[in-house]
Structure formats: C-alpha cells, structure tokens
C-alpha cells in the first residue's frame, strides 16, 4: 500500500468538519441522475450551493417519517418482485391453455416489470436494504403463480384479484399518508421536496395500474374460480402476512 | 481464509448478537433533498476530534479524552459528556472516517469495475488509519470494541462501512446478494484491518497483498457459488420445458 | 441529603427586614413560609444567566400555585416546610432509610455514581502536557442536598486515591441544618477537614446566591432533587454556578421501573412495606409514606432529561440526532437513574 499523503480528515481540527460529516447531497444527486460515478477531486469539499433556491423551504424529514418511507419502499419492492414472479410462472400454463390471453398477460407482466424496476431504482438510490426474506418471497410467489396457473384461468385470475386487492389497499394507504405529509408541509409553508413529490406521483400511477389489473381479472371470471372464497381468503391473508413481515425485516 | 475468519467472527459472537451481523447498517431512508442531521453535536465533535490528536501518544484512553476536552476549552470533568468513555472516542474515529471516505477517494478511471473500486475503497479506508496516526494504537481500539457491551455498536458500524463502500463503488443491486455482499466485505475489511495493526512492512505492502488474497478468494468462492446456482437454475428450467414439450400441464 | 426549599421561621424575621424594595411588602407578609422570602434576601442572579422566558424576579412568581407533597396537593409555599419536617425527623436514621428504600443497594449506586463522574484531576502526564496551574487548583465540587456527606466523602476519596489529587474541594450544601449537622459529625477531625478540602453551606438549591456564577466544576445532587419545590429553578441555578464545561449530575429514584412486572413487585414493596417498617423502626409512618410517594411523583427519566436540556445543558449519549431517546443511565433495572448535563462552552 503506497502511503499517499492525502489530506488527513482529522489532522486539521481547524477545518470545517461539519461539511465533511454531512453527505454531499447534491453531489450524490447529480451522480445518481447521470447514472455515472462522479469523480471526487477535492479532499476538502466546498459546500455546494443550492442549485435552485426553491421559494418554499424544504420540510425536514423526521426520523419517524424516514422509518416509514424505508419500510414502505421495502414492502413495495418486495411486492413488485412477487407480482413479477407470479406472472412469470403463470404465463406459460395459462397461455398454453388460453392463447387469447397472451396479450393481456403480457401487458400486465410488462407493467409489473416496470414497477419492479422503479422500486429497484428507488431502493438503491435511497440506500434502503431489500427485505431479508427475499429468497423466501421469491420461492413463495413462484410457487403461487405456478400453482394457480396450473389450476386454470379462473384460479389464476382469482389469484390476481386477491393480490391486487391487497396491494391496492397498501398503495392507497401510502398515498394517503404521503398526501397528509404534503398537506402538513403546505400548511407550514414548506414543500416536501422533489423526490417525495415524484414518489407520490409514482405510487399513485402504480396503484391505478394495479387496480386496472384487478378489473381485468374480475372481467376474466375471477369470481368463477372454485373454490373462490378459499383461494381469495388464503391469498389475501398471505399477502397481509407478507407485508407485515416485510415492513419489519 | 477470509470466509473462515468471517465464520470465526460469527461463531465467537454471542448467539443473541449474531443477527446483528446481518442487521441493517443504514436503517433509514437516505434523502437527497434534505440535509442529513450531523451525527455529532458541535461540542462532542470538537472534544473528540481534539482527543484523537492525543491518541498516538496516549492511546485510546481516558487521558486522551480528558486532554481533548481541555484542548477544546472544556474542563477535565467535561469528559462526562461521553457515557461510554473510550469507546465513544473509537466510534468517533470509525464514524468520521466512514463519512469522510467519499471525500478521500477518487476513481481516476470511469471504467473501473465495481470490484476494483471496492479494493481501492478498502485501501483508502486503511490508509486513513495511517494518516491519522492511530494505526499504532489501533489494537487498543479493537480490544475496546470487542468488549461485550460494545460489540453490537461495533458490528453495526462495520456493517455501515461495508454499505458505504458498496454505495460509493456504485453497486445498485437490491436483491438477496445485498446481504452477502455486505457480510463478505465486512469480514474482509475486519481481517485486513487486524492484519494492518501487525504489519511491519514498508508502506503496509503486506496488508495490501493480504487484502488482494482475500478478495481473490472471494471471487473464486463467490464465482463458484453463483455458478453452481446458475447451473441449477438452468437445469431446472430445461427440465420444466422438457416436460411441457411432452404435454405435461405445468 | 435532604435539600429543602425552605427556611425555618427564624430566618423569616431577618429576611422580611431585608426584603428588596421591588417586592410588595404585603405579599411577603402574607406568605407564612419563607421559601420565597428567603430568595428575596438576595438580589436576583444577573439576568445574563437567566432564561429569557423565565420571570425576571423569582420572588414575584406565583409561589402559592399548588404543588404536590407525596400524593397530596398543597400550596408551593407549604411544601418546603413539610419536606423539612420529614428530613428533620429522619436525619439521624437517614442511612437506614435509604437502605430500606433502595433494597440496600444505594451504597453501590453512590459508588458507581462517583466512579463514573471520576472527580479529581489526574497527575501530569509524562509529556508534561498539563499546565501546572490547573493542577494546583483542583476541582470545585458542589454537593447539593448532601447533608450527611456520604457523596462528598466518596468524591474526596476518589479524587485522592484514584487521581492522586490533593486539592479538589467539596462544598456540602443542604437546606436542612439537622442534615448538615450529620455531615459535620462525619468529617469532624478527618484529614479532609484539616486540609480544608470540605466546607458546609446551608442554602436553598433554588437560590445559591452566595456562590458566584461560573465557579463550580461539578454539581452533584443525589436523592435530593425530587424534594425541591421548583426543580426547573434549581436546574437553572445549577447552570448558573457551573463553569462552562462543568457537569451537572443527579442520582435519583425513578417513578417507574423499565420492566412492568418488576415495577408492580417493586411498588408492592415500596408502598406496602416501607411505611410499615418506618412505623415499626422509627415510629414515624408519615415521613416514610411521603418518601415513597415523592418518588412516584418525580418525573420519569425522559421528562427529567428534557428539563435538564431546557435549562441549557448538553445531555450526554444523544448523538445521532436521537432527540427522543437515551440521555441517562438506569441503575438496577431502573429503580434509580443517573442524569448528567454538561454546560456548553
């Protein structure tokens, strides 16, 4: 290891350490936007000026709010992982038995894959760890998709209906919570900031798409599945359990 | 050896603490719009940073902490601001060097792979121990960190460092490998740091070689594991397709 | 140990004579008890040390506002005298009482309290980094509500034997002369007394006007602050007398144990047995009943930590922006707790 005599972080107590201890938010932000790794040329960072001094001041996030965002985004990520896998394993048996469903299944799968990508990006960006149950949800959702796919069109649609009902509820409560923050921030004459505004928009759009899937499923005779009540009850309870666990780990 | 080191670390840890090894290093949402709250308050920061300047001579001791307080214009008694005493001093070094890592590192070549960036980050972090002059005293710090009551906080800080390194290296994977990556990097870093404290070679070349061997092992083992898993997945998929082609309804 | 916001009536006669002109004379006369009047004996502390939100003249505040005495609610002006009666009657059996209240482990807590504070200035290091002048001075420690002198004794022992500091000085302050008499007895003829390293002060912790501002290194109060009528005022006064960088440290019982099951058991013990033992051992049930109830009425750890912050102190153990947790140390499952505050420079 060649010892470079780089500027030591602690040898100069007179230097403003504070600026080093707080992450350079905008540097990181720009890095993230460009999708490339930035080059940090200076050992002593100069405080970056706010690129666009927004007129309303930014609301600062409380620890509770950060915790909420963390667990909400983790659940969303795990949920979209599961949804993608359910469709992946449902499609072959269903399309084989009912070729006319191919475009619908593909449409729904593509949307779910898009959602998954969104949350993959958000987790990496906001440095949120994925759920520790990842391999288990992976196996469980593959099994669920395959099982209901083999049971037939109605069962597969009942599965979609049950999952999307729970997911829709989950997203709805998130939108409600985020809008409440937004209202509170506005009441104080502050703003939530770009990232959170974008998040509200994303979650809303995704919720609407999930509810579309629900409508499609009901349109494709989800209610005709036998035994509908059992399937619906079990899958919904499973979803709620998985959400509960994922919020925590 | 790195995996055995990691395994030994794991087995030496009390059972109730093992989960902490995998525990979330950063538990909360990292915001870009909002400034992060500083970890230390102004008074803590000035006292601890002046105290670290006394570590090369006095070690990680109460004496260094007291002298730091005096240097910062406080009294002998003011070291009561740090309930964990010397461990707070150790932790300050860990936290400030972790947060300072992004300012120390620069990747001259944009085409650096993630693996190479991680290597540079580890070396840079080890270099910080040398630059601050505490490397000769670091064994004392390791002893303090290994006290039962300090283990959870020490492991959390180690995990946070691994997370910071993967983040700075530009790794964006958020799947199950998130955990294994951080666990293996934590193990390698801890081993390299222990090696560094006993390294007598010029410019810590032995440490660098030690680190390279550990990383190479990780590549071999990790490659073998993911290769095996990939092969198993491929075989399973092929089997399913074969059965489907035979008319089995799956 | 019992620091009481009260003066006995013999002080009243002198105090009314010297009442500052800005006090309505009739108001003072109307107060039967002297806790507020005694404060008026001295001009208020310099305003620069006062919290701007606080009424500028302590003597003019609403001292007849109801406060609690154990579980009963009484006027503030009465509390001090009632507390005084309790401690006057238990002064001689005070250590026995603490043994009962803490299940006998208050001695360990006090040892721990003193050890973690680490009073005394260590000898000059080999490099001679410490300037000799600071070494010469030693520390000034103020032990509030320290009547019987057991904390003071431990402080001086620690400074002398652990840190080899022969200069550190302790002032034992208590409002109750009977309690102080116990302390004088303890130190009579001791080395510390002969070396002039200990002295005694009869004063109200809410008004330490004989002690100059910014003069104390360490302010301790062990098992006393729950008896103060105005805890916030006492904290502000502590902030005033401490040097910048000085430490406020408090050892006190807590109203609730951290574990609710054990809390139930402990409550059973303290409410059932202690007054009874008081009756049998000391023939004084009411005093012991008060002591138990006063613990119950003391603010919880989080609330008391916020009061310390309110007075301007930096509370240790709160890094990472964790404003809502930490900041004290529970002892023995939270039967008692150590609170600290550092006066910022």
Nearest chain A residue to B107 by CA: give it: A39
Structure tokens at C114: 């003193």
* Domains, chain B, with CATH or none: 2-37+83-245 (1.10.357)
* Three-class SS state of A45: coil
Residue C246 has pLDDT above 90, yes or no: yes
Tell me which chains share at least 3 CB pairs under 8 Å with chain A. Answer: B, C
pLDDT at C141: 93
Mean pLDDT over B227-231 rounds to: 78
Find out whether A170 is annotated in a ligand binding site. no
pLDDT at C171: 93
Mutate to test the interface with B, among C136, C342, C343, C344 (most CBs of B within 10 A): C342
Q: Which tens digit of pLDDT belongs to each residue from A125-183?
A: 888 989 888 888 999 999 998 888 888 888 888 888 898 899 889 999 999 999 998 88
Conformational region of residue C7, where left means phi above 0, alpha means psi within -120 to 50, and beta covers everything else = beta
The Cα–Cα gap between B93 and C233 comes to 38
How far does the CA of residue C22 sit from the closest CA of chain A (Å)?
A: 43
Close Cβ partners of A236 (under 8 Å, ≥ 6 residues apart): A162, A165, A166
pLDDT at C112: 92
Find out whether A209 is annotated in a ligand binding site. no
The Cα–Cα gap between C276 and C134 comes to 51
Pairing of the two strands C336-342 and C328-331: antiparallel
The Cα–Cα gap between B233 and B250 comes to 17
pLDDT at B249: 62
pLDDT at C24: 42
The Cα–Cα gap between B155 and A229 comes to 48
Of A10, A37, A43, the CB nearest to B96: A10
- Interface check for B107 against chain A (CB to CB < 8 A): the answer is yes
Q: Which tens digit of pLDDT belongs to each residue from A34-68?
A: 333 333 333 344 444 444 444 567 667 777 888 88
Contact B72 C345 (CB under 8 A): yes
Conformational region of residue C73, where left means phi above 0, alpha means psi within -120 to 50, and beta covers everything else = beta
Find out whether A177 is annotated in a ligand binding site. no
Residue C96 has pLDDT above 90, yes or no: no
What residues of chain A lie within 8 A of the CB of B93, using their CB? 10
Contact B58 C125 (CB under 8 A): yes
Nearest chain C residue to B91 by CA: give it: C319
Q: Which range is least confidently modeled, A224-228, B158-162, C38-42, C68-72?
A: C38-42
pLDDT at C51: 38
Q: Which tens digit of pLDDT belongs to each residue from C174-202?
A: 988 888 888 898 898 888 988 889 999 99
Contact B74 C247 (CB under 8 A): no
Q: Which residue in this structure is represented by tokens 């004290």?
A: C328
Q: Which tens digit of pLDDT belongs to each residue from B154-172?
A: 998 999 999 999 988 888 8
Distances, alpha carbon B156 to alpha carbons A173, B129, B146, C238, in Å: 32, 19, 13, 37
pLDDT at C10: 41
Query: A123, A88 in Cβ contact below 8 A?
Result: no
Residue A3 has pLDDT above 50, yes or no: no
The Cα–Cα gap between B209 and B192 comes to 10
Mean pLDDT over B133-145 rounds to: 90
* Three-class SS state of C247: strand
Nearest chain A residue to B167 by CA: give it: A127
Q: Which range is least confidently modeled, B193-197, C25-29, C127-131, C334-338?
A: C25-29
pLDDT at A46: 42
The 3-state secondary structure of chain B reads CHHHHHHHHHHHCCHHHHHHHCCCCCCCCCCCCCCCCCCCCHHHHHHHHHHHHCHHHHCCCHHHHHHHHHHCCCCHHHHHHCCCCHHHHHHHHHHHHHHHHHHHCCCCCCCCCHHHHHHHHHHHHHHHHHHCCCHHHHHHHHHHHCCHHHHHHHHHHHHHHHHHHHHHCCCCCCCCHHHHHHHHHHHHHHHHHHHHHHCCCHHHHHHHHHHHHHHHHHHHHHHHHHHHHHHHHHHHHHHHHHHHHCCCCC
pLDDT at C325: 63
- Residue C68 pLDDT grade (very low, low, confident, very high; cuts 50, 70, 90): confident
pLDDT at C101: 66
pLDDT at A62: 78
Structure tokens at B170: 């530009």
The Cα–Cα gap between A48 and A58 comes to 16
Residue A241 has pLDDT above 70, yes or no: yes
- Interface check for B130 against chain A (CB to CB < 8 A): the answer is yes
- Residue B229 pLDDT grade (very low, low, confident, very high; cuts 50, 70, 90): confident
Residue-range domain boundaries for chain C: 9-91
Nearest chain A residue to B37 by CA: give it: A22
What residues of chain A lie within 8 A of the CB of B115, using their CB? none
What residues of chain A lie within 8 A of the CB of C324, using their CB? 63
Residue B64 has pLDDT above 80, yes or no: yes
The Cα–Cα gap between A117 and A227 comes to 34
Secondary structure letter of residue C314 according to DSSP? B
The Cα–Cα gap between C160 and B131 comes to 39
Structure tokens at C74: 């009484």
Quote the mean pLDDT of chain A: 77
Among A176-185, C36-45, C50-59, C326-335, top mean pLDDT goes to: A176-185
- Residue B227 pLDDT grade (very low, low, confident, very high; cuts 50, 70, 90): confident
Question: pTM of the predicted model, to two decimals?
Answer: 0.74
Residue C331 has pLDDT above 70, yes or no: yes
Contact pairs from chain B to chain C, CB under 8 Å: 79
Residue C59 has pLDDT above 60, yes or no: no
Mean pLDDT over B33-54 rounds to: 84
What residues of chain A lie within 8 A of the CB of B164, using their CB? none
Quote the mean pLDDT of chain C: 75
Q: Which tens digit of pLDDT belongs to each residue from B98-136?
A: 988 888 887 776 777 888 888 889 999 999 999 988 898
More reliable by pLDDT, A151 or B7 = A151
Angle C136-B43-C134 (CA atoms, 0-180°, nearest 5)?
5
Of C116, C217, C345, the CB nearest to B73: C345
Q: Which tens digit of pLDDT belongs to each residue from B181-198?
A: 888 899 899 999 999 988
pLDDT at A65: 85
Q: If contacts are CB pairs under 8 Å, which of residues 190-219 in chain A contact chain B? A: 192-196
Structure tokens at C29: 């006369």
What are phi and psi for residue C146, nearest 5 degrees? -105, 25
Mean pLDDT over A94-123 rounds to: 89
Q: If contacts are CB pairs under 8 Å, which of residues 123-142 in chain A contact chain B? A: 123-130, 132, 134-135, 138
What residues of chain C lie within 8 A of the CB of B39, using their CB? 319-321
Residue C130 has pLDDT above 90, yes or no: no
Residue C50 has pLDDT above 90, yes or no: no
Q: Which tens digit of pLDDT belongs to each residue from C30-39?
A: 333 333 333 3
Q: What is the DSSP string of A195-213?
A: HHHHHHHHHHHHHHHHHHH
pLDDT at A175: 92
Among A148-157, B59-68, C36-45, top mean pLDDT goes to: B59-68
Residue B141 has pLDDT above 50, yes or no: yes
pLDDT at B203: 83
Q: Which range is least confidently modeled, A215-224, B64-73, C86-95?
A: C86-95
What residues of chain A lie within 8 A of the CB of B49, using their CB? 10, 13, 17
Of B41, B58, B77, the CB nearest to C139: B77
Residue C321 has pLDDT above 70, yes or no: no
Quote the mean pLDDT of chain B: 82
The Cα–Cα gap between C224 and C17 comes to 30
Contact A10 B104 (CB under 8 A): no
Query: B54, B64 in Cβ contact below 8 A?
Result: yes
What residues of chain B lie within 8 A of the CB of A192, using their CB? 33
* Three-class SS state of C204: strand
Structure tokens at C25: 């004379």
């Amino acid at each position: 290891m060649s010892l470079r005599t780089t500027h030591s972080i602690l040898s100069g107590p007179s230097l403003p350490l504070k600026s080093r201890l707080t992450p350079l938010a905008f540097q990181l932000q720009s890095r993230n936007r460009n999708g490339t790794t930035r080059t940090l040329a200076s050992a002593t960072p100069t405080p970056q000026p706010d690129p666009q001094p927004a007129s309303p001041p930014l609301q600062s996030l409380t620890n509770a709010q950060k915790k909420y965002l963390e667990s909400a985004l983790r659940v969303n990520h795990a949920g979209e992982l599961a949804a993608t896998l359910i469709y992946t394993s449902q499609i072959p048996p269903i399309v084989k038995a009912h070729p006319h469903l191919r475009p619908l299944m593909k449409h729904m799968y593509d949307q779910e894959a898009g959602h998954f990508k969104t949350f993959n990006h958000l987790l990496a960006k906001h440095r949120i760890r994925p759920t520790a149950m990842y391999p288990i949800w992976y196996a469980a959702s593959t099994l669920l998709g395959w099982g209901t796919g083999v049971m037939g069109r109605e069962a597969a649609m009942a599965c979609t209906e049950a999952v999307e009902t729970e997911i829709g509820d989950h997203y709805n409560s998130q939108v409600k919570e985020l809008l409440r923050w937004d209202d509170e921030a506005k009441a104080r004459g502050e703003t939530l900031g770009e990232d959170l505004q974008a998040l509200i928009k994303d979650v809303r759009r995704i919720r609407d798409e999930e509810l579309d899937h629900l409508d499609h499923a009901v349109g494709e005779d989800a209610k005709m599945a036998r035994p509908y009540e059992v399937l619906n009850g079990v899958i919904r309870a499973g979803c709620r359990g998985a959400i509960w666990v994922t919020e925590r780990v | 050896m790195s995996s055995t080191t990691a395994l030994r670390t794991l087995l030496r840890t009390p059972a109730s603490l093992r989960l902490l090894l995998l525990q979330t290093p950063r538990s909360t949402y990292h915001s870009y719009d909002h400034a992060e709250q500083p970890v230390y308050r102004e008074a803590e920061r000035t006292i601890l940073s002046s105290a670290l300047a006394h570590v090369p001579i006095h070690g990680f001791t109460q004496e260094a902490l007291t002298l730091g307080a005096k240097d910062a214009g406080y009294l002998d008694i003011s070291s009561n601001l740090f309930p964990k005493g010397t461990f707070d001093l150790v932790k300050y070094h860990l936290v400030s060097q972790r947060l300072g890592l992004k300012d120390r590192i620069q990747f001259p070549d944009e085409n650096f792979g993630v693996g190479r960036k991680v290597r540079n980050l580890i070396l840079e972090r080890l270099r910080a121990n040398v630059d601050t002059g505490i490397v000769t005293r670091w064994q004392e710090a390791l002893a303090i960190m290994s006290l039962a009551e300090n283990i959870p906080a020490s492991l959390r800080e180690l995990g946070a460092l691994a997370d910071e390194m993967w983040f700075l290296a530009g790794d964006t994977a958020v799947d199950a490998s998130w955990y294994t990556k951080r666990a293996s990097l934590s193990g390698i870093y801890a081993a390299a740091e222990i090696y560094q404290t006993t390294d007598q070679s010029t410019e810590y070349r032995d440490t660098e070689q030690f680190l390279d061997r550990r990383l190479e092992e990780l590549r071999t083992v990790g490659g073998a594991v993911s290769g095996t898993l990939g092969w198993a997945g491929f075989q399973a998929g092929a089997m399913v397709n074969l059965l489907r082609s035979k008319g089995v309804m799956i | 140990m019992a620091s009481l916001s009260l003066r006995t009536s013999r002080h009243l006669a002198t105090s009314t004579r010297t009442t500052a002109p800005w006090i309505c004379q009739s108001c003072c006369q109307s107060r039967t008890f002297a806790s507020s009047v005694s404060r008026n004996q001295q001009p208020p502390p310099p305003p620069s040390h006062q919290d701007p939100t606080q009424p500028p003249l302590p003597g003019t505040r609403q001292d007849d506002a109801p406060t609690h005495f154990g579980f009963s609610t009484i006027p503030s002006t009465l509390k001090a005298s009632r507390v005084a009666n309790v401690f006057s009657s238990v002064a001689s059996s005070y250590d026995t009482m603490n043994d009962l209240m803490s299940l006998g482990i208050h001695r360990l807590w006090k040892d721990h309290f003193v050890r973690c504070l680490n009073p005394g200035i260590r000898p000059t290091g080999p490099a001679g980094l410490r300037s000799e002048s600071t070494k010469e001075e030693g520390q000034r420690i103020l032990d509030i509500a320290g009547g019987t002198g057991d904390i003071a004794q431990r402080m001086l022992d620690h400074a002398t034997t652990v840190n080899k500091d022969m200069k550190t000085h302790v002032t034992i302050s208590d409002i109750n002369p009977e309690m102080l008499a116990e302390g004088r007895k303890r130190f009579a003829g001791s080395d510390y007394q002969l070396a002039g390293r200990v002295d005694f002060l009869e004063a109200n912790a809410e008004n330490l006007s004989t002690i100059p501002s910014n003069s104390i290194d360490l302010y301790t109060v062990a098992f006393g602050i729950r008896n103060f009528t105005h805890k916030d005022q006492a904290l502000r006064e502590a902030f005033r007398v401490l040097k910048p960088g000085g430490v406020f440290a408090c050892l006190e019982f807590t109203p609730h144990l951290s574990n609710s099951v054990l809390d139930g058991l402990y409550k059973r013990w303290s409410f059932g047995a202690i007054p009874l033992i008081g009756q049998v051992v000391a023939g004084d049930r009411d005093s012991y009943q008060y002591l138990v109830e006063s613990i119950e009425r003391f603010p919880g750890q989080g609330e008391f930590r916020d009061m310390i912050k309110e007075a301007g102190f930096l509370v240790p153990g709160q890094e990472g922006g964790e404003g809502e947790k930490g900041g004290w140390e529970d002892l023995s499952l939270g039967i008692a707790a150590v609170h600290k505050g550092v006066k910022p420079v």
